Structure 1
């Protein structure tokens, strides 16, 4: 009877999580936490982790389930039961359904990369790549690697950034590792770290981190300069800035050299042009599907266009602030990368693009200057999908 009750609880948890994701547009992690709270689920640590991984999987497979059911209206509970048996079904499905993306998302990527590479990218995007960044403000690379070995973590040193570690397997979630709890290592994707590397922060640099919260990139810039840069970290969300300040202190950042500013970055005005601007713009997050598969469910052309308009406004203001700007988005859509840069370059004369990472892929073939842009892909670089552009004034 106990086993049956646990099975019923799992079905209840998964169906409620799916409801929260689809109907309330919540990210998977938040939807799962809400489901546990609403159902008053009492789970042991191992049970909770297992249930969460199943929740991530069913959300990732949601579009496939819709393809299988067709026009039939199914409850979320019925979809969960169907999902448990989905591997045994022999229903022929088109490629976008097999990969569990909507037709627009699939068609956009395959149209850009071709069917073979496009499907390889989408397949890889479904899986989460795990990275740790050694926080050298609190520990040495050598000591962190020794700790990883002691905790039974299988890892791979990164060949580009000495402080990045690719996690191949771990006996426990990364957030539960002692070095992560002690902030000696930070869960940070390599593609996101690459944005800061393109900026090339130096001691005594003045850096404006536009849309800075939650502060992961700010902390890396301070780490690379041994706490000797000066950073103006701007964000429109005051609550996120307060959380950011606490996190920076935990990361070992000298917060006396970081000024937090609550402001809409589309209207920031800086008189000193001898600064560097890092603009990691708000986006559709289509490059982070592996981390949060709910993104696949809610992404559409209109969502991408919504963010594209915001990004153009932010970048147009950023190029007026200083002579060096790094623009980035965690998106695999050209509307949030190449086409944003093209719109700004066309409107603002005297701008120069530089490919700062020789190992990065070029931009999509939708602009003539694609070779001067940078893209990181999950199927090539083992990272989230990212777009990066280094923009200079001539």
Structure 2
């Protein structure tokens, strides 16, 4: 038994199942992909279209790239970058299995070297994964064990954002997203007046960002307890 999502008509929620989706042939053959609604919303915010050249600054594991190409019927061009060569190789295998075309994968650290040729950018930031805390309780254990994890990821995210912002590029806009409940990985990055003035609301759905931040009305947040999704922060940075 399935239910069509009210916001994204191509997305369905499984209400009842005879056996886990992961054990079906459709899942094994990637005819269906399991993806959280908040993660789907990131791609919707990007608004991929045929003939777009999209730079994905942290592309692995590749689920969002699959959705981009499904929505554009493989007619967009994606340049996917990731610092981890093993994750990048696994992404390549996944894309091949899903029959995804027009994706070039590049092994790079986006803190220090960034591809510049493209009209749309996606930075789904590496993070502490606190947005998954309802589904993965071990996240809480990791946060308690490693007191510096939030600040460490926040610094990494900021470094990559600044690299994208401080160099001339061809992007019309960038979607920044993060699967985190903490403002240090979301709203705090956009308190600078220059960056804040470039932001705009990425979606008509979801909630505003946390109160007390300039970017709050120009961002979208999903909450596990309110939306039944992962916790996500999303904003749009327009360059042109």
Q: Structures share a fold, TM > 0.5?
A: yes
Counterpart for residue 158 of structure 1: 5
Counterpart for residue 282 of structure 1: 126
Q: How much is the aligned-residue C-alpha RMSD, in angstroms? A: 1.7
Confirm or deny that 1:208 pairs with 2:52.
Answer: no
For residue 350 of structure 1, report the CA deviation from its aligned partner.
8.3
- Deviation digits for residues 32-67 of structure 1 (CA, Å, limit 9, x no counterpart): xxxxxxxxxxxxxxxxxxxxxxxxxxxxxxxxxxxx
For residue 196 of structure 1, report the CA deviation from its aligned partner.
0.8
For residue 165 of structure 1, report the CA deviation from its aligned partner.
1.0
Matches within 5 A, 1:110-125: none
Confirm or deny that 1:384 pairs with 2:230.
Answer: yes
Matched positions, count: 235
For residue 317 of structure 1, report the CA deviation from its aligned partner.
1.4
C-alpha distance in 1 between matches for 2:41 and 2:180? 14
Tell me which structure has the larger Cα radius of gyration: 1
- Measured at CA, do residues 349 and 212 of structure 1 come closer, stay the same or move farther in structure 2, by a change above 3 Å? closer
- Deviation digits for residues 329-369 of structure 1 (CA, Å, limit 9, x no counterpart): 10111111000222xx44x4684211131121000013123
60, 69, 76: which one pairs with 1:229?
76
Confirm or deny that 1:219 pairs with 2:63.
Answer: no
4+ residue runs over 3 A deviation: 269-272, 348-351
Q: What TM-score do the two structures reach when normalised by structure 1? A: 0.57
SS of residue paired to 1:371: helix
SS of residue paired to 1:299: helix
- Deviation digits for residues 89-125 of structure 1 (CA, Å, limit 9, x no counterpart): xxxxxxxxxxxxxxxxxxxxxxxxxxxxxxxxxxxxx
Counterpart for residue 39 of structure 1: none
Counterpart for residue 269 of structure 1: 114
Q: Which has the higher contact order (CA 8 A, sep 6+)?
A: 2
Counterpart for residue 260 of structure 1: 105
For residue 271 of structure 1, report the CA deviation from its aligned partner.
4.4
- Mapped contact 2:22–2:28 kept (Cα < 8 A): yes
SS of residue paired to 1:266: coil
Confirm or deny that 1:367 pairs with 2:184.
Answer: no
- Measured at CA, do residues 338 and 357 of structure 1 come closer, stay the same or move farther in structure 2, by a change above 3 Å? same
- Mapped contact 1:328–1:386 kept (Cα < 8 A): yes
Structure number with higher helix proportion:
1
C-alpha distance in 1 between matches for 2:12 and 2:35? 10
C-alpha distance in 1 between matches for 2:29 and 2:128? 31
- Mapped contact 1:277–1:318 kept (Cα < 8 A): no
Q: What TM-score do the two structures reach when normalised by structure 2? A: 0.92
SS of residue paired to 2:148: helix
Counterpart for residue 335 of structure 1: 184
For residue 270 of structure 1, report the CA deviation from its aligned partner.
3.6
C-alpha distance in 2 between matches for 1:211 and 1:226? 22
SS of residue paired to 1:267: coil
